[in-house]
A and B are shown apart, each in its own frame.
Chain A
Amino acid sequence: MIALFRLARRLSETDRTAFLRGLALMVTVLVMGVALLGLSGWFVTAAAAAGVAGVGVGFDFFRPSAGVRFLALGRAMARYGERLLTHDATLRALAGMRSAVYAGITRLPHEVQSRLRGAEALNRITSDIDALDGLMLRLVLPISAALAGLAAGTLAVWFLVTPAAAIALALIYALGGTLILAVTARIAHRPAAAAEAGLQSLRAASLDLMRNRADLAVAGALDRLTGVALEAVNAEETARNRLDDIERQSSSALSLTVGLAAAATLYLGGTAAEAGLISPARAAIGFFVALALAESLGALRRGLAEWGRMQGAAERVLRLTDTPPRPEPAVVPLPLPEKPLLNVTDLRHRRAGAQRDSFGPVSFTLARAETLLITGPSGVGKSTLLATLAGLTAPVSGQILLSGVPLADWSEELLRSWLTLVPQRSALMAGTVAENLSLALPEGQPLDEDLLWKVLEAVDLASTLRAREGLATQLGPHGSGLSGGQAKRLALARAVLRRPKVLMLDEPTEGLDAPTAKATLAGIRALLPDTGIIFVSHRSPDADLADRVLHLAE
């Protein structure tokens, strides 16, 4: 509930004027609808009375009939404008929310981020934001418009029919609406969460079944896990049925509210007319206004049905947008050029909750223009060491001095311009080779194609790309369209373009044959003569390429 309020506030803040204008139009539409039915009812009844009385000739039929036509056409047009305005404002606000969610994801700790990879997390994020489009369109705005419309209708009935009819109308609608809204919000939350959970576990179970079906079949577990998936199907079905029941009940309750309000105004107006207090035509107004106000509840019906799902989505989206900012040091000390480039002492790292260190203690020094090879068996923590040195994850103890200054004291921006790391599974993106490379360069500068080719030459990728479409060669999602080794070298080229003072490479030679590996590393060294290079490899010939070797043992 609180999450929905907070989110509605954030969404409406993005473009308050647009939402207010949309709301004003929504109220206009509602009021025009109420006026249309009220006027038509009055007109027909009054015309009948005049006809019966034989005074039809003197009856001013021109203005009411023009009013009916104006209201009918104007209302449809106003509705078109209102829909465009409110949808545009909502979509703008949601686009902003998507950006905020992405920014929140970039601020997540490295360990959490690496678990977010993959279509599942993405699916969750996009569908959650999509689910929120009803919050403004089908809850906040219609509720506000319904209140305004009810106030206008009540006033009209007060003056045109009787105060008693007005009070009955306002009470029945306000009480009925509030009660239904409150009860639905309360009881829909749990089944909506259950339906969502059911759908997620159904998806997870489908993935498991399909991916691991061979393993599961040999283990004789395929049958059992299919059963688990079918249970998820049933759980979702049960929760969905429950949600449908709630929606149906609230829908019936809304219909009943309308029926009661219409009957009450008919009764109160009609008896007043019988008593001769007002004309029958005026009595008709009350009844028709009550009927027309039913439209204000229409949009709410769907909003109520989505309530539970929106609530869960709002909570998850806010959790991501609320990711705390990265700590930035208050004072950034100046690097000390006389100190060694990198000085690491007694560095230890342990994952949260683990019983064993990922690596350590590790100590070493890296000088400018030096190449250091880190070797060790798989699982000894080589990649985690590089991530720690790059400031992606914090050590439990020990010290990293970059040019004499502790790593934690570097600002993110300055640190990234000094030091870069090419992870083992480096991610490229859909787009051209030039677009992928230009990510490494300052924004807004014209592309220096010669420089790009020089770097591609250095990583032995130039001839491959020349044979295709050069820098305009198009890559698919995740850089598909290049072989593993080519993608690796493109990522290397991207890092070299940044001209870092410390360059760290995780398994740069994996997937390359020995001569290519050698040529690539020599090419990088030639372009970056003063850079301290650290690379991780488990291939023994690679030792020749380094000035020094650091062996990590278990």
Chain B
Amino acid sequence: MTETCLSPAEAKAELARLTAPVSKQLRSAGMLAALSEMLWAAQAALVATALGGLVAPPASLSVPQAAIGFVFVMLLRAALDAAAQARANRAATTLVASERAQLLTEAARLDARATGMAPAELASLAGEKLALLGPYVSRFTPAMTRSRIVPLVFLALVAPLSWVVALIFMIAGPLIPVFMALIGMAAQQASERQMAHMGTLNGTLADRIAASADLRLLGAEARAGRELSIVFHILRARTMKVLTVAFLSSTVLELFSALGVALVAVYVGFNLLGEITWGSWGGQLHPASGIFLLMLAPNMFQPMRDLAAAWHDRASAFAVAGELKAAKAMLSEEGQIMGSGAAATALPPAALSWHGLALRPGPGAAPISLPDGQVAPGEAVAISGPSGAGKTTLIAALAGLIRPDAGEIRWGETALAEDSADAIRAGLGWLPQAPQFIAAPLSEAITLGRPGDLAAALKAAHAEEIIAALPEGLATPLGDIGGGVSGGEARRLMLARAHHAQAHLILADEPTADLDAETAQLVLAGLMALRDGGAALLIASHDPTVIAAMDRVIALEGNGHDAEDRT
């Protein structure tokens, strides 16, 4: 993927755009949380009045009344917090789920050429990376709202009692973000370096795990283990470096808030003793006011501390927003298949013909003009030509998996278009160049959910013995590239899939590439059996044996673009 780092302003704008659909919920979550936090002032007032009454009777509020009131407000606050958190959490899960759904739906319909995003990148983006938006939405955004409202409200409550305390709040409060920003910048750099190292660590581990058999055969297992453990400890040391800076920033925050609280406590104490008579608008503080000020002080700084704790949620969300933006840009630039890829009723057998086609083999490549051609029902046709002549691209275009730059493809009288693609594809069978299986039991990987006689298809493709050698037979999951079967066996299973599809026309791309002569013969025989069953064949190949077995050859010349990269 391309470089995805956004500037902070861009990232902020992107996140604002992403959270727009849930912004109402988030605003109300922030307000409810702020309200709950402000109610601490009510609790403080209750306790301060009762304690103040004990010190300087008469008490305007008895201790039991204050205690009951305290619990009552606590209940109210817990309810408010829960309501706020519920809104924030729901907003987060809704946002993540809808972004995931949109991403997957669009990625699934990318055309066959698209190379902008590796499958593992999509899985990681849709999986754990998008999940990182959750904490940003549910923790950081409400904390942001709170830190904007609560300190101001508390300041307004404190100022009428003592301008000194208000001044302490005003000085200690805004200084915190300044220091945070300074330390945060250092932390950012350290954490970027650590992220990069984390990537190499995972690569190193993946290399060792993939090579575990080789390492054992070389007697180098113990050595690889020791080397890895050194790498793990380097990672630990780097992580600690990041944490040291991060902890420093939160310590500075704590120091400021602790100093603020201590200053308030000492000032209030001295004022109550009568040692200091200034700062409280002329008179001495009432004991209740003094206790109230003391209780308010720690909570004055709490929203900022919460915000600092959620700061790294913001940093990860910025990174994800950048990647998501790049992914979406890629999805809208690369083409989409025709139709939706849904199941449909096949059209009756007819000739597949194409006329005046021009195709781009890759996103950046120049279009290749291809000779016109057609395959009649029951006919067997080879497409031959040098590498880069556009064989693979033509096969994909005929199945509606690539949109041509010019020209027309027809199934009988029906033109291949958005609304006809699914029905035309329903009459096709497909043998890709590299056999792949979905991560499901083999039976499902072969049928792909279509009805039909699986046993007969396996028999026709001589694939029964392959199934018999598998640990769980048809229930074996083969995984992505068919781990557990050889290349020839995988091709035969693909043939079984084509048999099972009962297609009118089989499109095959290099069905015998990389196979030994014996196995290639077996695969070719399987294709001819499909033809004997009434299906037409259109096979892209440069294998002379395959070409000789066809009725006719369509030769592509190639115009010098080596776009089909075969290694």
Contacts and interface: CB of A to CB of B under 8 A. Distances in A.
Nearest to B94: A237
Contacts of B224: 106, 439
Interface string A27-63: 0000000001100110111011111100011010100
Given A114-B213, A218-B425, A233 B101 contact: yes
A332 interface: no
Contacts of B400: 217
A229 B104 contact: yes
Contact of A439 (B89, B218, B425, B465): B218
Interface string B383-425: 0000000000000100111000000000000000000001001
Interface stretch (A16-24, A71-79, A450-458, A465-473): A71-79
Interface-central residue, B85, B134, B274, B428, by most chain A CB under 10 Å: B274
Contacts of B258: 36, 72-73, 75-76
Contacts of A355: 468-469, 473
A44 B567 CA distance: 80
Contacts of B254: 75-76, 79
B236 A248 contact: no
Nearest to A204: B439
A118 B210 contact: yes
B51 A270 contact: yes
B110 A65 contact: no
B486 A379 contact: yes
B400 to A, nearest CB: 8
Contacts of A205: 104
Interface in A361-417: 377-379, 383, 390, 392, 413, 416-417
Contact of B215 (A106, A118, A260, A280): A106
Please tell me the size bucket of the interface on B.
Answer: 35 or more
A128 B243 CA distance: 21
A175 interface: no
Contact of A221 (B67, B337, B448, B472): B448
B401 to A, nearest CB: 5
A202 B100 contact: yes
Given A251-B85, A426-B214, A214 B396 contact: yes
Given A51-B274, A202-B126, A206-B104, A106 B225 contact: yes
Contact of B67 (A44, A57, A219, A263): A263
B244 A84 contact: yes
Looking at chain A's contact residues, the main secondary structure is helix
Interface-central residue, A36, A64, A102, A264, by most chain B CB under 10 Å: A102
A354 B469 contact: yes
Contact of A217 (B77, B275, B425): B425
B518 A378 contact: yes
Given A213-B108, A221-B448, A416-B216, A379 B489 contact: yes
A68 B480 contact: no
A91 B81 contact: no
B236 A95 contact: yes
B287 A210 contact: no
A483 B266 CA distance: 74
Nearest to A129: B232
Interface string B229-262: 1001101100110011001100100110011011
Interface stretch (A5-13, A144-152, A340-348, A491-499): A491-499
Interface string B37-52: 0000000000100111
Interface stretch (A119-127, A183-191, A521-529): A119-127
B96 interface: yes
Looking at chain B's contact residues, the main secondary structure is helix
B291 A48 contact: yes
A521 B552 CA distance: 41
A230 B274 contact: no
B374 interface: no
A52 B126 contact: no
Interface residues of A, number: 158
A246 to B, nearest CB: 11
B363 interface: no
B148 interface: no
B282 interface: no
B104 A220 contact: no
A221 B341 contact: yes
Contact of B269 (A43, A224, A423): A43
Contacts of A121: 209
A420 interface: yes
A102 B131 contact: no
Given A44-B290, A80-B251, A118-B480, A206 B126 contact: yes
Contacts of B284: 51
A171 interface: no
A264 B67 contact: yes
A4 interface: no
B272 A222 contact: no
Contacts of A484: 567
A223 B341 contact: yes
A518 interface: no
Interface string B450-461: 100000000000
B201 to A, nearest CB: 8
A240 interface: yes
Nearest to B472: A353
Contacts of A47: 268-270, 272-273, 290
Contact of A478 (B210, B247, B519): B210
Interface in A72-120: 72-73, 75-77, 79-80, 83-84, 87-88, 91-92, 94-96, 98-99, 102-103, 105-106, 110, 113-120
Given A52-B56, A98-B205, A207-B122, 16 more contacts: A61-B270, A120-B123, A210-B123, A214-B432, A221-B448, A224-B343, A226-B108, A240-B93, A244-B85, A248-B82, A259-B74, A262-B70, A263-B67, A266-B50, A354-B471, A439-B220
16 contacts: A52-B55, A202-B127, A208-B438, A215-B432, A217-B400, A219-B497, A378-B515, A379-B519, A417-B219, A427-B210, A427-B211, A430-B203, A439-B215, A478-B210, A495-B217, A538-B516
